[in-house]
Amino acid sequence: MTSDALQHTVAPLVYIASTVLFILGIKDLAKVRTARRGNAVAALGMLLAIVGALLELGLIDYRWIIGGVIVGTIIGAVFAIRVEMTAMPEMVALFNGFGGLASALVGVSVFWLDIEQAHPTTSVADTMGGAQAITVALSIIVGSVTFTGSLVALLKLQGRLKKGQPILLPSRHVINVALAVAAVVLSVWLYRAGADTAWIPCILLAVVSLVLGVLLTIPIGGADMPVVVSLLNSYSGIAASMAGFVIGNVLLIVAGAMVGAAGLILTQIMCVAMNRSLLNVLIGGFGATEASGESGGSSEYKNVKSCGPEEAAMVLETAESVIIVPGYGLAVAQAQHATREFATELEKRGTKVRYAIHPVAGRMPGHMNVLLAEADVPYEQLVEMDLINGDFADTDVSIILGANDVVNPVANKDPSSPIYGMPILNAYESQSVFVVKRSLSPGYAGIKNELFEYPNTMMIFGDAKDVLQSLIAEVKAL
């Protein structure tokens, strides 16, 4: 076969096969039974895409490509194998950022090759073609915003950036709009620029976009980070799609667009779960106004009762049904295995144990499911919010493990609360509630949790894992 046939016939056919595998892979990923196979199918699609790309490129110098792949594989594999299950949201944010960075770099690289290194005499648009010049600008913008936005999301999830609280610059909306306008103006400049000056708008565009990514993400509170990570996932898909327009590759356009749509749908699902509009999340500052009013005394807790594991174990001795409500605290304390062990201990005594999963518990949708699955909690014991909310009233004991805002009754009762209207788990309806928590500090929404003052609530202060281990010992001793 001639190299021409390989480049223009075989390579596109391989790309088509790759597209089909991506679609089948995502479809399988959406079903519990086939999810793992789906991931493997999608990975195979990626392998085919790489084979197709190598065929299309033909005889070139592969040394730098191979070098990049080896270094990237080592770094990616080390991250993926060493990361704790609890840090999964951070991991997705980080990988997402790298994807966005790659797309932006592709845009700049193609621009540099065609304009700066070729020294054409015509303008950028005339040299590259208008469509390509526009998509170069778009891939730089979307890719750069994805990169720095993901890094900020990562720092917020780790609690390193002001403990995840919103950072509100004065007149931030004006600044953001100004930066967005600047990005548009720079794109137009890039489009019309002559080859000798075009590097100026190119570099400025990258800088403005990188800053925009930071500024768009810092005002958003840590509680909303799942939504942001999901949205950035969508962006990274769109960035890949734009890179596809730049290099004229349909496979990138298709795969990127599918990921972009998927991320958008997931984002929407999460917003619905929190009863917020996407716009409301993105404007940011959620919880910050409340936090500033906190000194007024409304956040002071009165009549909070606390107890130790022994007392809790005595209550649990007579309990026929127990619902465990896991939250991010469980992830932080790495308490998933202890939770499972504790539940097994209760089950041995004939207690019915179930887990109530709030859609936004943890830092990502399904975060709790992944953690509990790691500890081999039976799948059918995990019950979604809508299905279990009616059962709390007939439940003897609810145990809140490191969850906060998702069980705050104020969301049902107080229209002035910032989380009013957010669907919550009605744990307060059960006969007794135990809240395992390190302190009375507020959750990510930054507000007081009335549940802690309820007469049927007992606080058990401590690290979730430590408390569970004492509880296991106490229950065994009964």
Q: Which stretch binds another protein (CB under 8 A): 243-251, 289-297, 431-439, 469-477?
A: 243-251
Which residue stretch of 108-116, 163-171, 425-433, 446-454 sits at the interface with another protein (rule: CB under 8 A)?
108-116
Distance CA 362, CA 366 (A): 8
Which residue, 255 or 316, has its beta carbon nearer to another protein? 255
Is the CB of 23 or the CB of 180 nearer to another protein? 23
Alpha helices in 58-171 (DSSP H): 63-82, 88-111, 124-128, 130-157
Binding pattern to another protein, positions 321-360, x when CB under 8 A? ------------------------------------x-x-
Judged by CB under 8 A, which of 6, 16, 112, 214 binds another protein?
A: 112
If the CB atoms of residues 246 and 397 are measured against another protein, the closer one turns out to be 246
Comparing CB distances to another protein, the nearer of 139 and 457 is 139
Q: What is the distance between the alpha carbons of residues 366 and 258, in angstroms, rounded to a whole number?
A: 21
Convert residues 180-219 into a mask of x (bound to another protein by CB under 8 A) and - (unbound): ----------------------------------------
Residue 144: closest CA among 58, 249, 199, 215: 215
Stretch that binds another protein, among 92-100, 172-180, 216-224, 323-331 (CB under 8 A): 92-100
Q: Which of residues 35-74 bind another protein (CB under 8 A)?
A: 35-36, 38-40, 42-43, 45-46, 49-50, 52-54, 57, 60-61, 63-65, 67-69, 71-73
Tell me the closest approach of the beta carbon of residue 215 to another protein, in angstroms.
22
Quote the least distance from Cβ 116 to another protein, whole Å: 7
Judged by beta carbon, residue 50 or residue 185, the one nearer another protein is: 50
> What distance in Å separates the CA atoms of residue 263 and residue 269, rounded to the nearest whole number?
10
Q: Residue written as tokens 């992830």?
A: 331
With tokens 């991931």, the residue in question is 39
Span of 102-110, 347-355, 410-418, 456-464 interacting with another protein by CB under 8 A? 102-110
Position among 88, 133, 400, 451 found at the interface with another protein (CB under 8 A):
88
Interface with another protein, residue 278, by CB under 8 A: no
Nearest to 181 by CA among 209, 162, 156, 160: 209
Q: How many CB atoms lie within 10 A of CB 337?
A: 16
Cα–Cα distance for residue pair 234/250, rounded to 1 Å: 18
Number of residues that bind another protein (CB under 8 A): 113
Rounded Cα–Cα distance for residues 192 and 330 (Å): 55
Q: Work out the angle at residue 168's Cα, subtended by the Cα atoms of residues 239 and 103, and round it to the nearest 5 degrees.
A: 10
| Longest alpha-carbon distance in the chain | 87
Return the residue of 213, 263, 284, 326 that touches another protein, per CB under 8 A: 263
322: part of which helix (H) or strand (E)?
strand 321-326
**H/E element, 6:** none
CA-derived radius of gyration, the chain = 26
Supply the residues annotated as catalytic: 405
Q: Are 95 and 80 in contact (CB under 8 A)?
A: no
Q: Which is nearer to another protein, 96 or 417 (CB)?
A: 96
Residue type, 382: L
- We find the least distance from the C-beta atom of residue 326 to another protein, in angstroms, to be 13
Nearest approach in angstroms of CB 246 to another protein is 7
